[in-house]
Structure 1
Amino acid sequence: MAAQNEMHVTNLARSAPKSRFKHVIYNLRRDKFLYALIAPGVLFFLIFKYVPMWGIVIAFQDYSPYQGVMGSEWVGLEHFIRFFSNPDFYLLFRNTLAISVLNLIFFFPLPIVLSLLLNELRNAVYKKWIQSIVYMPHFLSWVIIAGVSFLLLSQSSGIFNKMLVSLGFAKYDFLTNENNFWALLTIQNIWKETGWGTIIFLAAIAGVDPQLYEAAKMDGANRLRQAWHVTLPAIRSVIVVLFILRLGHIMDVGFEQVFLMMNGAVSNVADVFETYVYRLGIQQGQFSFSTAVGLFKSVIGFILVISANKLAKRFGEEGVY
């Protein structure tokens, strides 16, 4: 049997074309169904991710919609110099970085912790119910979440303030206090996305070899020790990859959430790159300047991903690529 398999492999190797072009055609014909399967995803990225990248050239132009990309005047780095010399740059950078770092510190670990807790549930029906409940907030729009937040936290008619008054306390300013804004965004993000973030980690935990748990039990490890010494090391590569990808979006804090929760009283801590681009690019029509701001964000994310990936490889992890 082994000799027949070896002969079959040898015949396939002989029948494979020798030239590079013919080899590509041969592979396309052989795996045509697999290529057809990935074709929609490839087309999506080509049409909606790569083709629009041509638009970044207007960051180096004084773009006019009437003259188009080819007819607009080239100004080089003028928009970048204007942006970096603008006093708003430091304010925007501070607010964006602060919100992202808070999400990275408090939100990123929670799906991992919740996945470990869900993995310990042995009742399958109860586990599915819990998973469904924690997944549900992800499907709510930020408009609904912002509306619920106003109903709960409004100083004039919010439920929490009514409870404080009924207990003899003074009303507290939740929504128009600068000191609360970053924490409020972080809590909203935790409530909305923690359950959804467990999907990848639960899938990784499901792939852990059960024999590792059996060996840990024989060594006297309890459930907590098994989670710490078996589960977490087994999914470490997944955690590293997701952390690297999250660093790539450190300049993206979510326009819709910030825009809906923003008000004049907290604009000093709420104005971020997304709201700034919307205000200048959409409302004021400064397309070239807003594109330069967006390109700056993308470059920062690209540098962080490359740096984090190299650092992960240096410590023996696989990284993203």
Structure 2
Amino acid sequence: MTTNTMPTTKQPVGKLAGRAPGFRKHFSRNRFLYAMLVPVAIYLILFKYAPMAGEIIAFKNYRLSDGIWGSSWVGFGQFEKLFASRDFYVVLRNTLLLNLYHLVFAFPVPIILAILLNEVRAEWYKRTLQNLLYIPHFISWVALGSIVIALLSPSTGFVNSLLKAFGIEPIYFMADKFWWPVSFIVSGIWKEAGFGTILYLAAMSAIDPTLYEAAKIDGASKRRQIWHVTLPGIRSTIAILLILQVGKMMDVGFEQVYTLRNDAVTSVAEVISTFVYTRGLVNLQYSYTTALGLFQSLIALILIVSVNRIIKAMGERGLW
């Protein structure tokens, strides 16, 4: 009787053994796709993960002559110095405010543009508009920033010339603490809004056309079709991009700020990225700015995890 019984422990082994050939077959069939991941993996390892070892200098009084391991430990001394600095709270406020303005005013613009482009029926006209909207994305901030400054010049700029034509006094956009953030956000929209429509247009192309036909039969207007068919169809894409945007609340692009800022608006234009550059690289305060960068990354991690949980609680798919 005992010879006819089979050990139950061998069943999982059989399953695992059957998986290996399947994986090898899958890998062989998609080997070129896996090969395309190799440069990405190398980039992430070299420029994202390997530099994490340097975060240790946030807990040291780092000196170039002593090196990372030879520099003395100070524990949380750099963080205490950071939180006691008034400049830290100024750059933190500016960073959060500029990102908040971007979230409120700039984030919805690609969605609106994508909806408008999706309603264009003439393909040649649609492609022309898309190309014109994409072009600013491929221009560097060094060139685009110069164009923005020239357009907003109080003496020769096109915008102020237009204001003068209507009897309005010239505005010093780039030297005014109120108008500089406005110029910053508008220039960012000009550069990135068009390119940001790509994901939304791709999501709209996956919406079942019969849903629009059913809405038309029910007598829904174009506005109702957008509200009840288009927006729900891209809701998951909006949720994921919103999570990513909130995860960048502690970061403002260095190139744009550095190109557009000047001494007259330092109190509203100095952000974490430019502060790290001037204090860390220019003034050689490596440990101090590394502590700031570590704090920035920690807060960003908390934000992205929190918003991801909120989005999933609302019934949408999160990042994980």
- Counterparts in 2 of 1:134-283, with a 5 A limit? 134-165=133-164, 168-283=167-282
Query: How high is the sequence identity, in percent, across the aligned residues?
Result: 43
- Determine if contact 1:181/1:266 at 8 Å carries over to the other structure: yes
| Distance verdict in 2 for CA 1:165–1:215, change over 3 Å | closer
Alignment correspondent of 1:77 = 76
Amino acid at match of 1:60: F
* Partner SS, residue 178 of structure 1: coil
- 1:221–1:249 distance in 2 versus 1, CA, 3 Å: same
CA contact (8 A) 1:241 1:319 kept: yes
For the residues of structure 2 that align with 1:59 and 1:259, how far apart are their CA atoms? Answer: 25
Aligned positions, number:
307
Provide the rounded CA distance (Å) in 1 between the counterparts of 2:20 and 2:56: 34
Contact 1:134/1:196, CA 8 A, preserved across alignment: yes
Q: 1:169 to 1:239 in 2, by over 3 A?
A: closer
Counterparts of 2:60 and 2:267, CA distance in 1: 30
- Residue of structure 2 in register with 1:116 after alignment: 115
Let me know the Cα RMSD of the aligned residues: 2.2
What is the CA distance between 1:29 and its match in structure 2?
5.5
Larger deviation: 292-301 or 99-108? 292-301
Q: Distance in 2 between matches of 1:116 and 1:93?
A: 35
Going from structure 1 to structure 2, the CA distance change for 1:17 and 1:42 (only over 3 Å counts) comes to farther
3-state SS of paired residue (1:251):
coil
Distance 1:125 1:24, change over 3 A: same
> Residues 25, 305 of structure 1: CA spacing in aligned structure 2 closer, same or farther, 3 A cutoff?
farther
Instruction: Structure 2: give runs of 5+ residues left out of the alignment.
Output: 1-11
The Cα of 1:167 is off from its aligned counterpart by 5.3
Question: Does structure 2 retain, via aligned residues, the 8 Å contact 1:80–1:292?
Answer: yes
* Structure 1 unaligned regions, length at least 5: 1-15
1:234/1:63 Cα in 2 relative to 1: closer, same or farther (>3 Å)?
same
Whole-angstrom CA distance in 1 between matches of 2:161 and 2:216: 52
Equivalence for 2:89 = 90
Question: Is the Cα–Cα contact under 8 Å of residues 96 and 252 in structure 1 kept in the other structure?
Answer: yes
Q: Cα–Cα, structure 1 residues 58 and 202, in superposed 2: closer, same or farther, change >3 Å?
A: same
How much has 1:172 moved relative to structure 2? 2.2
The structure-2 alpha-carbon separation of the partners of 1:126 and 1:304, relative to structure 1 and needing over 3 Å to count, comes to same
For normalisation by structure 2, the TM-score amounts to 0.90
Q: CA deviation at 1:163?
A: 4.3
Write the mapping of 1:282-297 to structure 2, written as runs, cut at 5 A: 282-297=281-296
Deviation at 1:183, TM superposition (A): 0.8
With over 3 angstroms needed to count, the CA separation of the structure-2 counterparts of 1:168 and 1:127, relative to structure 1, is closer
Counterpart contact for 1:17–1:26, Cα < 8 Å = no
One-letter identity of the residue aligned with 2:262: N
Q: How far off its partner does 1:21 sit?
A: 8.8
- Pair 22,73 (structure 1): closer, same or farther in 2 beyond 3 Å: farther
Q: Which amino acid aligns with 2:221?
A: N
Q: Distance in 1 between matches of 2:182 and 2:166?
A: 24
Letter in 2 for 1:196: F
Following TM superposition, by how much is the alpha carbon of 1:40 offset from its aligned partner in structure 2, in angstroms?
Answer: 2.7
Helix, strand or coil for the counterpart of 1:196? coil
Once residues 172 and 306 of structure 1 are traced to their aligned partners in structure 2, the CA distance between those partners, rounded to angstroms, is 42
